[in-house]
Structure 1
Amino acid sequence: MGNAGHIPTVDICNLSEVRDENILVSRFASYLQVHHKLHLAHRHSFYHLLLFTKGSGTHTIDFSTFPVKPNQIYFMIPGQVHSWNFEGDVDGYVVNFSTSFFQSFLLRPDYLETFSFFNGQAEDSVIDLPTELQQPIIRLFEEIVGHSAQNNAFRYDLIRVLLLQVFLEIDKHTYAHKHSAVPSFNYTLLKNFQKLVDKHYISLKRPMDYAELLYITPNHLNALCKEHLGITAGEVIRNRVLLEAKRMLVNQNLSISEISYDLNFNDNSYFTKFFKKYVGITPEEFRKKSL
């Protein structure tokens, strides 16, 4: 699955027994039996959903570690780095789908990005299902597994409809929870800021650049971030740059100079100082530690 220093990217066609390049649906216990090497750090070229119904241990997404427990669902977008460390028997459901799986079905190509759990922030992508949602969501996954096993011409559309139902039910719950804490307009502004950072963090490094794109003042943006995220707007941008630096150090066999150039730093020494200041170790040390 790759050499040392180069953490592999897994494609659906490498995982799917039926060699379907757009969708894979499976019970998690049987998926683990076939793909047991996936406990090693890797990333996917597809969306990855994992609902645990049984098991314990830990799951690491983009260098943040979460305890595994029943009735917990993980949402991952392409490119995120993750690894598992399970204890005992684990089961649930896994659904992998390509970035194009919904494109022919929905007019809005960015529709999935509107869900908070698909924003690429690890802490938003792990959700403990409340009691009232547990059985309805499990029933939906059972239906998805059932349709995937049939040779029906409409099975993929049925799976798309059921997956959208899963997303909407969970988003309704998470939005209601966040909505009570963050007024609607501010919530939308913050979400848009995070999406803009994700798109432009290499070229735009200053909060004022994003404030301009959002038609608000830098002070307003900063106050919003501090109040609702607990960090400044500058830290949001910086954290995104650091996350990409970590991903590149772990995932690609690039030199530190190449990484610094790709991340738009003036020179290698400035990138090394920046990384050490906020991570506490140099890029080289981080790379060695992650092997």
Structure 2
Amino acid sequence: MRSDSINITQINKETTLKQPGDAYAVCWIKNEVEGIEIDRVLYKNVSNSIFFLDPQYQWKIFKKDAPSSSGYVLYLSNEVLNNPILSKLHINKIRLFNSGEIPLFKLSPGIEKRTQAILEMIDELLGTHLNHKDDAILSLLNTFFVYCDGQCNIKSVVSNNNSKTNVVYKFKKLVDKHIDKQHEVADYAELLNLSPKYLNECVKEVLGVSSKSIIKEQLLMRSRHALKFSDKTIKEISFELGFSSPDYFSYFFKTHTGMTPSALRKS
């Protein structure tokens, strides 16, 4: 892999401009930005979003007056995007970069820290001469794209102000906030002042899955993370995630993963 195939830069300056060349840009805008201008059109309210920009677009990001970084811009060449590891993904340059639209993903609130960690590792690796560095970077890019294309995130386009998309994003934020107490679609529909039927309709149209599946996926993600990366007992995890008993938690987990919580912990 050529040294100029991948480049990454933090959004630190007041104005971050597109770099010259024919690389595709992946802009992860975390927060503290005024907006992104694409072909002289300014888009606001873009915090916690990822933009995929074809080289044909001229763009710049306007940052607010804040000392911390507001995200990253990742530049990827055709060589990288055509790599077999990435080209097999559902999220690829044919579907995203050449669609005639400007694709963006509104990230689920719980994914932000993982996204940042992946980009920070890529940034760190690019500055080293470690053996197998290219393989490690491609593996991280693969993980990054898998997260982007997950059900936890909302696919959209820059020009899309659809009210159903807004409903789904609010639903996702509520699930992230209340998943340890509320597991039913009706609970979230009530918080949104909607009927469960309409909430399901919005989620199905925007994400292609049911509202219940979003709740289930969030529970499974939290469960896996707690089982793998904490010393809490299965009983403690089950009650912290709002399950009525450890037995029901184990039943739920095995039904949807094919293995018990204790088996996952040992794997």
The TM-score with structure 2 as length reference comes to: 0.50
Whose helix fraction is larger, Structure 1's or Structure 2's? 1
